[in-house]
Homo-oligomer: A and B are copies of this chain.
Amino acid sequence: MVAVLKPGATKEQIENLTAWLEGRGLKVHISKGEFHTIIGLIGDTSKIDTELLGSLEMIESVKRISEPFKSSNRKFHPDDTIIEVGSLKIGGPHFQIIAGPCSVESPQQILAVAQSVLASGASILRGGAFKPRTSPYDFQGLHADGIGLLVDVKKQTGMPIITEIMNANHLPMFENVDIIQVGARNMQNFELLKALGQTSKPILLKRGLANTLQELLMSAEYIMAGGNHNVILCERGIRTFETYTRNTLDLSAVPMLRELSHLPVVVDPSHASGIARMVKPMAMAAAAAGAHGLMIEVHNDPVNALCDGAQSLTPEQFTDVAERVRKIREVIK
List the B residue with the shortest CB-CB distance to A55. B310
Do A34 and B42 touch (CB < 8 A)? yes
* CB of A272 within 8 Å of the partner chain: yes
Quick one: which of B29, B288, B310 contacts A328, CB cutoff 8 A? B288
Q: Are A136 and B221 in contact (CB under 8 A)?
A: yes
Taking CB as reference atom, which chain B residue is nearest A185?
B188
> CB distance A285 to B275 under 8 Å?
no
The reply to whether A243 and B46 form a contact with Cβ atoms under 8 Å apart is no
Contact of A275 among B2, B55, B218 (CB under 8 A): B55
Q: In A249-289, which residues have CB < 8 Å from any B CB?
A: 249-256, 259-260, 272-278, 281-282, 284-289
Closest to A287 in B: B288
A133-B68 Cα distance, complex, nearest whole Å: 12
Q: Smallest CB–CB gap between A309 and chain B, Å? A: 4
Contact of A188 among B65, B134, B288, B289 (CB under 8 A): B134
Q: Is A308 on the interface with B (CB-CB < 8 A)?
A: yes
Given A133-B190, A189-B186, A244-B260; A310-B51 close (CB under 8 Å):
yes
Binds B, one of A79-87, A172-180, A209-217: A209-217
Mark contacts of A22-61 with chain B using CB atoms, 8 A cut-off: 1 yes-contact digit, 0 otherwise.
0000010101111110101011001001011011100011
For A307, the chain B residues whose CB sits under 8 A away are 49
CA separation between A215 and B190, bound complex, in Å? 21
A188 touches B132 (CB 8 A): yes
Q: How far is the CA of A75 from the CA of B281 in the complex (A)?
A: 21
**Within 8 Å CB of A222, what residues of B?**
136
A54–B318 CA distance with the chains assembled, in angstroms: 21
- Complex: chain B residue closest to A333, CB-CB: B324
List which A215-258 residues lie within 8 A (CB) of chain B. Answer: 215, 218, 221-222, 225, 238-245, 248-256
Number of interface residues of A (CB under 8 A): 106
In the complex, whether A167 has a CB less than 8 A from a CB of chain B is yes
Q: Are A242 and B218 in contact (CB under 8 A)?
A: no
B residues less than 8 Å from A51 (CB atoms): 274, 308-311
User: Smallest CB-CB separation from A274: which chain B residue?
Assistant: B51
Q: Which residue of B lies closest to A26 (CB)?
A: B33
A202 at the interface (CB under 8 A from B): no
Report chain B residues within 8 Å CB of A107: none
A52-B266 Cα distance, complex, nearest whole Å: 26
Interchain CB contact (< 8 A) of A332 among B54, B282, B324: B324
In the assembled complex, the CB of A134 is this many whole angstroms from the nearest CB of chain B, namely 5
- A10: CB under 8 A from chain B? no
Q: With A40-B31, A52-B305, A135-B68 in contact, do A241 and B241 touch (Cβ < 8 Å)?
A: yes
Contact of B34 with A31 in the complex, beta carbons under 8 Å:
no
- Chain B residue numbers with a CB within 8 Å of A144 are none
